[in-house]
Amino acid sequence: MEGLLTRCRTLSALAACSLRHCRYIIHKCYHRAPGRGQRLVLSRMFQPQNLREDQVLSLEGRASDLTCKSQRLMLQVGLILPASPGCYHLMPYTVRAVEKLVRVIDQEMQAIGGQKINMPSLSPAELWRATSRWDLMGRELLRLRDRHGKEYCLGPTHEEAVTALVASQKKLSYKQLPLLLYQVTRKFRDEPRPRFGLLRGREFYMKDMYTFDSSSEAAQETYGLVCDAYCRLFDRLGLQWMKARADVGSIGGTMSHEFQLPVDIGEDRLVVCPSCHFSANTEILDLSQKICPDCQGPLTETKGIEVGHTFYLSTKYSSIFNALFTNAHGESLLAEMGCYGLGVTRILAAAIEVLSTEDCIRWPRLLAPYQVCVIPPKKGSKETAATEIVEKLYDDIMEAVPQLRGEVLLDDRTHLTIGNRLKDANKLGYPFVIIAGKRALEDPAHFEVWSQNTGEVVFLTKEGVMELLTGVHVV
Amino acid sequence: MEGLLTRCRTLSALAACSLRHCRYIIHKCYHRAPGRGQRLVLSRMFQPQNLREDQVLSLEGRASDLTCKSQRLMLQVGLILPASPGCYHLMPYTVRAVEKLVRVIDQEMQAIGGQKINMPSLSPAELWRATSRWDLMGRELLRLRDRHGKEYCLGPTHEEAVTALVASQKKLSYKQLPLLLYQVTRKFRDEPRPRFGLLRGREFYMKDMYTFDSSSEAAQETYGLVCDAYCRLFDRLGLQWMKARADVGSIGGTMSHEFQLPVDIGEDRLVVCPSCHFSANTEILDLSQKICPDCQGPLTETKGIEVGHTFYLSTKYSSIFNALFTNAHGESLLAEMGCYGLGVTRILAAAIEVLSTEDCIRWPRLLAPYQVCVIPPKKGSKETAATEIVEKLYDDIMEAVPQLRGEVLLDDRTHLTIGNRLKDANKLGYPFVIIAGKRALEDPAHFEVWSQNTGEVVFLTKEGVMELLTGVHVV
């Protein structure tokens, strides 16, 4: 039997490598440069911007629904497509950006000792009844019954599940604490008014971390540690952020902070003290409060989008599920907990909201779906001779700058003018656009390089391009 | 305002880097080797195997539920924990293995031009009513209503959603075809009898690809292309597999194949023809058929676990949702479709099922959560002096073999004997285990190296270890 299977496998493997198939594979998705690597070409991308005339038309028909810049831009260029209210299809560029963001989050969470787990979305009602949140969460919970009539909700957050999980691990020792467990999964919330695209959806990706400590002091130290990791994350993304004291809401606990990106369409009203940097969500202050509680200076007001939220929970959940650890004296004690959320798809949309112009998407450089777009001359134009030169540049980049493999697109729609393709590239916000125009025919060739995040345009030789791109960090 | 925010950010960043915090961060998750990198240590892992006496005890209490080897082993060492029937928490080691598998799948799908998207789990009832599957799928669909009474199911598969998505893109040109869209997301199926752990769950990860072509011939060529990619995938995982003709079931279409891993607990009965390699699921054959339909030779029977399934759909879905493309003559035609599933969590469990011994987990080498486990001597034993030598080896591996960063665990539970820790390492199935025993004190030091997938044990100098590990490919 085994011999037979091995033979089957070998035959199939041979068939898979037949010349016909190899050729087919290569031609389907890439241009093949003779004797060199493969080129990623724009015309093959399922990027509805290629069809934009029609797309924009149909969007205009429902323009009144488009309530913020990021939603409008993301729909226009086809980064997201509506599936149902508050639910979106993420298209290929967006998936790439989300995956990059998840890698940055993984790095920061693992740098502080976070261990990644994955909990089911189907969350049994009995867990939520134990904390009374089955009733408290009201209509925000999406609920269902299975074929046996058993009740579940689709988890919007997982305090119950993770605490029950840790409680099931008997003999958890103080030596294993602090324990930092996190996941990056889809969450569900039946928003009364889903809107702003990925900013307030009903189905979204969230990073949620839960920490377990041996004492209140240790738990608060861990709380600070996670907050600092959040600060580093937003700094790496190049975003302006604020950390504001906040209400604990339905999660509960005794201390809470929100991480906010300041922006006009933000749904949260915040106060900041310019003197001592006190900052808070107005929901925790007396509405008429105009004086900083820390330094008595005058408070100013701003708006923000909440992109992260941290809670010190103490033993609120561990006492319900009996999540215990054994201390150095062999005694069983309740674990002190914290929980920490980051809205993954929301961070992406919020970043686009604050960085973009009215017409052009701008990404945090690290999250851009592709780092470089290369634009060869229009077919039949007088620069046509530069086509080979810029294709060679593309291949040389692939060879000399390994971290950019898979990150450089060739805009092969050469029936369009350079100007039209540059307009598209500008709209999509590739951090670097390299154009082979007239000066690519000089000796040595000069390429027009747009650094879109700074707005700078320079002419560089091949060596200059290589030097510039070698410094590009890709996550 | 902007100036203020920048200041806030800078202050926080400074605070984050205060010496106290930096020290704290490092000590929490890693041993710090002076002046060198950081070491990943086993004692900090939330790996319930550390608590196994108790865990095994509680598992024995419900031993009768454990119906197959992979489920029993994965529960025993704490790779998965039950959340509700057919739903499991994936623990840190398992998340690492799943993420590696997803990377291999991404590579193979993108090599044939696949573009990754992400569709919501909440799938509107009207899509399923359009294809009559709202009724046909019966109780396998998990259904719910939102706060407005609108009906949804939790998508077990996404033919409806993706066809509606492509249909919404007017002016899709034949030049953009074949279009291969895929996603790797959670799927839901209300199994009547969830069992075998991750092999037959109610919530699971699946890779589903949908292809769109301009003609029946092109669609069948694409079908072959995706099947070949599946073959390469299973070959890379080192798994024996069979490709069997299969029934189209509730998905529909006119041609279908299953990818099966042959194993006794498999729920599918297959026939194979040793002469011409014909293979089929018995569900599509006359039960009494003993003769190969292709070569009239005798058929033999075997069992398998279905890990992949491919369907040529023709225009079954595109005709319902009017998914059109424009051909070279400007005419609108229905796209020819295929769909292709891979059970991600199922492949992992099935691989463990076929590769493991009764007591010890074995992974496809490429998917092992960590490639190497390093075991220093027991504290207080006469080999204690080798501790520094093996810690230096660890640091040297990190420096000399960059692809293994994050892949090498130091089993710092030095209160346990080498033998006990080797037993654990053997059970968890790290591909390589490096032990510093008596011979580590020789000059030059010799380390005992277990290659667990081959069962080979050799003594190697540091140079020998480096040479061996440099050849380890990590995905």
B118 touches chain A (CB under 8 A): yes
B298 touches chain A (CB under 8 A): no
How far apart (Å, rounded) are the C-alpha atoms in residues B219 and B236?
Answer: 26
Whether the CB-CB separation of A166 and A160 falls below 8 Å is answered with no
Question: How large is the average pLDDT for residues B46-58?
Answer: 52
CB contact under 8 A, B225 and A13: no
A-chain CB neighbours of B242 within 8 Å are 5, 8
B-chain CB neighbours of A21 within 8 Å are 224-225, 228
How far apart (Å, rounded) are the C-alpha atoms in residues B303 and B168?
Answer: 42
Give residue A49's pLDDT: 58
Q: Please identify among residues 340-369 of chain B the ones whose CB lies closer than 8 Å to any CB of chain A.
A: none
Residue with tokens 């993984």: A106
Strands B372-375 and B408-410: parallel
CB contact under 8 A, B24 and A94: no
Handedness of CA A60, A64, A66, A69 (dihedral sign): positive
CATH architecture of B34-46+370-470: 3-Layer(aba) Sandwich (3.40)
Across the interface, of A16, A43, A176, the residue whose CB is closest to B175 is A43
Question: How large is the average pLDDT for residues A53-62?
Answer: 45
CB contact under 8 A, A241 and B9: yes
How far apart (Å, rounded) are the C-alpha atoms in residues A391 and A39?
Answer: 9
Q: Please identify among residues 407-446 of chain A the ones whose CB lies closer than 8 Å to any CB of chain B.
A: none
> To the nearest whole percent, how much of chain B has pLDDT over 90?
76
CB contact under 8 A, B168 and A81: yes
Q: What is the mean pLDDT of chain B?
A: 88
Q: What's the token pair of residue A385?
A: 């001779």
Cis, bond preceding B92 (omega within 30 deg of 0): no
**Shortest Cα–Cα distance, B164 to chain A (Å):** 9
How far apart (Å, rounded) are the C-alpha atoms in residues A415 and A391?
Answer: 16
**Shortest Cα–Cα distance, B459 to chain A (Å):** 32
How far apart (Å, rounded) are the C-alpha atoms in residues A251 and B392?
Answer: 46
Give residue A12's pLDDT: 39
Q: What is the ipTM of this complex?
A: 0.91
Burial pattern A32-59, b for ≥16 Cβ within 10 A else e, equals: eeeeeeebbbbbbbbbbbbbbeebeeee
Q: What are phi and psi of A169, to 5 degrees?
A: -90, 90
- Is pLDDT above 60 for B314? yes
Residue with tokens 């900041």: A272
Q: What is the mean pLDDT of chain A?
A: 88
Whether the CB-CB separation of B198 and B204 falls below 8 Å is answered with yes
Look at B284 and A466; give whichever has higher pLDDT: A466
Helix axes A69-76, A344-355, angle to 10 degrees: 100
CB contact under 8 A, B120 and A88: yes
Whether the CB-CB separation of B271 and B300 falls below 8 Å is answered with yes
A287 touches chain B (CB under 8 A): no
Give the residue from A33, A93, A92 showing the smallest Cα distance to A394: A33
How many residue pairs bridge chain A and chain B with CB atoms within 8 Å of each other? 253
Strands (DSSP E) along A285-344, which ranges? 300-314, 324-326, 332-334, 336-343
**A181 CB neighbour count, 10 Å cutoff:** 23
Cα–Cα distances (Å) from A116 to A111, A211, A266, B195, in that order, read 12, 12, 31, 25
B80 touches chain A (CB under 8 A): no
Q: What's the token pair of residue B42?
A: 């086993």
Give the pLDDT band (50/70/90) at residue A253.
confident
Give the residue from B430, B419, B394 showing the smallest Cα distance to B31: B394
B370 touches chain A (CB under 8 A): no
CB contact under 8 A, A12 and B94: no
Strands A203-213 and A179-188: antiparallel
Handedness of CA A225, A229, A232, A238 (dihedral sign): negative
- Residue B296 region, left (φ>0) first, then alpha (ψ -120 to 50), else beta? left
Q: What is the pLDDT of residues B241-288, one digit of tens each?
A: 999 999 888 888 889 999 999 998 888 999 999 888 889 999 888 878
* Closest CA in chain A for residue B191: A147
Q: What's the token pair of residue B406?
A: 């994050």
Across the interface, of B13, B95, B142, the residue whose CB is closest to A118 is B95
Give the pLDDT band (50/70/90) at residue A248.
confident
Q: What is the pLDDT of residues A344-402, one digit of tens each?
A: 999 999 999 999 999 999 999 999 999 999 999 999 999 999 999 999 999 999 999 99
CB contact under 8 A, B83 and A28: no
- Is pLDDT above 60 for A41? yes
Give residue A458's pLDDT: 97
* Closest CA in chain B for residue A94: B117
* Closest CA in chain B for residue A223: B21
Question: How large is the average pLDDT for residues B171-193?
Answer: 94
Give residue B125's pLDDT: 98
Give the residue from B340, B107, B232, B297 showing the smallest Cα distance to A10: B232
For residue A248, the cross-strand partners are none
Give residue A170's pLDDT: 80
A98 touches chain B (CB under 8 A): yes
A-chain CB neighbours of B221 within 8 Å are 24
Give residue B57's pLDDT: 41
Question: How large is the average pLDDT for residues B28-43?
Answer: 59
Which of A51-65, A191-205, B455-469 comes out lowest in average pLDDT?
Answer: A51-65
Give the residue from A285, A140, A257 showing the smallest Cα distance to A203: A140
Whether the CB-CB separation of A406 and A463 falls below 8 Å is answered with no
**A117 CB neighbour count, 10 Å cutoff:** 22
Give residue B47's pLDDT: 65
Helix axes A216-236, A92-111, angle to 10 degrees: 140
Which span out of A229-233, A293-297, B24-28 was modeled with the highest average pLDDT? A229-233
Q: B208: exposed, middle or buried (C-beta count within 10 Å: 0-12, 13-18, 19+)?
A: buried
Give residue A251's pLDDT: 82
A384 touches chain B (CB under 8 A): no
* Closest CA in chain B for residue A11: B277
Look at A253 and A123; give whichever has higher pLDDT: A123
Give residue A62's pLDDT: 53
Amino acid identity, position B63:
A
Give the pLDDT band (50/70/90) at residue B26.
very low
How far apart (Å, rounded) are the C-alpha atoms in residues A186 and A107?
Answer: 19
How far apart (Å, rounded) are the C-alpha atoms in residues A211 and A207?
Answer: 13
Give residue A254's pLDDT: 85
B332 touches chain A (CB under 8 A): no
Whether the CB-CB separation of A351 and A239 falls below 8 Å is answered with yes
Give residue A23's pLDDT: 34
- Is pLDDT above 90 for A169? no
Give the pLDDT band (50/70/90) at residue B310.
very high
**Shortest Cα–Cα distance, B412 to chain A (Å):** 13
Give the pLDDT band (50/70/90) at residue A3.
very low
Give the residue from A302, A309, A366, A368 showing the smallest Cα distance to A343: A309
**A405 CB neighbour count, 10 Å cutoff:** 14
Whether the CB-CB separation of A410 and A42 falls below 8 Å is answered with yes
Nearest 10 degrees: Cα torsion B441, B442, B445, B449: -80
Amino acid identity, position B474:
V
B161 touches chain A (CB under 8 A): yes
Q: Please identify among residues 202-241 of chain A the ones whose CB lies closer than 8 Å to any CB of chain B.
A: 202-203, 221, 224-225, 228, 231-232, 234-235, 240-241
Q: What is the pLDDT of residues A406-447, one digit of tens each?
A: 999 999 999 999 999 999 999 999 999 999 999 999 999 999
The strands making up A372-375's β-sheet, listed across from edge to edge, are A30-32, A38-41, A408-410, A372-375, A432-435, A447-451, A456-460
Q: Please identify among residues 35-54 of chain A the ones whose CB lies closer than 8 Å to any CB of chain B.
A: 43-46, 48, 50-51, 54
A272 touches chain B (CB under 8 A): yes
Give residue B457's pLDDT: 97
Q: Give every CB contact of residue B138 below 8 A, 6+ residues apart in sequence.
A: none
Q: What is the pLDDT of residues B112-160, one digit of tens each?
A: 999 999 999 999 999 999 999 999 999 999 999 999 999 999 999 999 9
Alpha-helix runs per DSSP H in B61-198: 69-76, 92-111, 125-130, 133-136, 159-167
Give the pLDDT band (50/70/90) at residue B415.
very high
Whether the CB-CB separation of B304 and B239 falls below 8 Å is answered with no
CA angle B344, B345, B348 (to 5 degrees): 95
Give residue A250's pLDDT: 82
Q: What are phi and psi of A188, to 5 degrees?
A: -130, 135
**Shortest Cα–Cα distance, A366 to chain B (Å):** 19
Whether the CB-CB separation of B247 and B230 falls below 8 Å is answered with no
Give residue B29's pLDDT: 39
Q: What is the pLDDT of residues B63-81, one digit of tens each?
A: 445 689 999 999 989 999 9
Across the interface, of A112, A186, A240, the residue whose CB is closest to B29 is A112
Could you tell me the residue ranges of all domains in chain A?
A: 95-354, 370-475
B-chain CB neighbours of A96 within 8 Å are 116
Give residue B265's pLDDT: 87
Give the pLDDT band (50/70/90) at residue B170.
confident
A14 touches chain B (CB under 8 A): no
Which of A243-247, A283-287, B422-426 comes out lowest in average pLDDT?
Answer: A283-287
CB contact under 8 A, A91 and B117: yes
Give the pLDDT band (50/70/90) at residue A287.
confident
Q: A119: exposed, middle or buried (C-beta count within 10 Å: 0-12, 13-18, 19+)?
A: buried
Amino acid identity, position A162:
V
A26 touches chain B (CB under 8 A): no
- Is pLDDT above 70 for B376? yes
Q: What is the pLDDT of residues B197-237, one digit of tens each?
A: 999 999 999 999 999 999 999 999 999 999 999 999 999 99
CATH of domain B95-354: 3.30.930.10
**A16 CB neighbour count, 10 Å cutoff:** 19
> Could you please report the per-residue DSSP string of A48-112?
GGGGHHHHHHHHHTTGGG--SHHHHHHHHTTSEEEEETTEEEEPHHHHHHHHHHHHHHHHHHHHT
* Closest CA in chain A for residue B138: A147
CB contact under 8 A, B144 and A143: yes
Give the pLDDT band (50/70/90) at residue A336.
very high
Q: What is the pLDDT of residues A101-128, one digit of tens each?
A: 999 999 999 999 999 999 999 999 999 9
B-chain CB neighbours of A292 within 8 Å are none
Give residue A50's pLDDT: 52
Q: Which fold has domain A370-475?
A: Rossmann fold (3.40.50)
How far apart (Å, rounded) are the C-alpha atoms in residues A459 and A447?
Answer: 5
How far apart (Å, rounded) are the C-alpha atoms in residues A340 and B388?
Answer: 38
B-chain CB neighbours of A5 within 8 Å are 240-242, 262
> To the nearest whole percent, how much of chain B has pLDDT over 70?
88
Which of A84-88, B58-62, B154-158, B180-184 comes out lowest in average pLDDT?
Answer: B58-62
Question: How large is the average pLDDT for residues B444-468?
Answer: 96
Whether the CB-CB separation of B363 and B274 falls below 8 Å is answered with no
Question: How large is the average pLDDT for residues A316-324?
Answer: 97
What is the SS3 assignment for B2?
Answer: helix
A-chain CB neighbours of B272 within 8 Å are 4, 8
Q: Please identify among residues 162-201 of chain A the ones whose CB lies closer than 8 Å to any CB of chain B.
A: 165, 168-172, 175-176, 178-179, 181, 185-186, 188, 190, 192
Give residue A33's pLDDT: 45
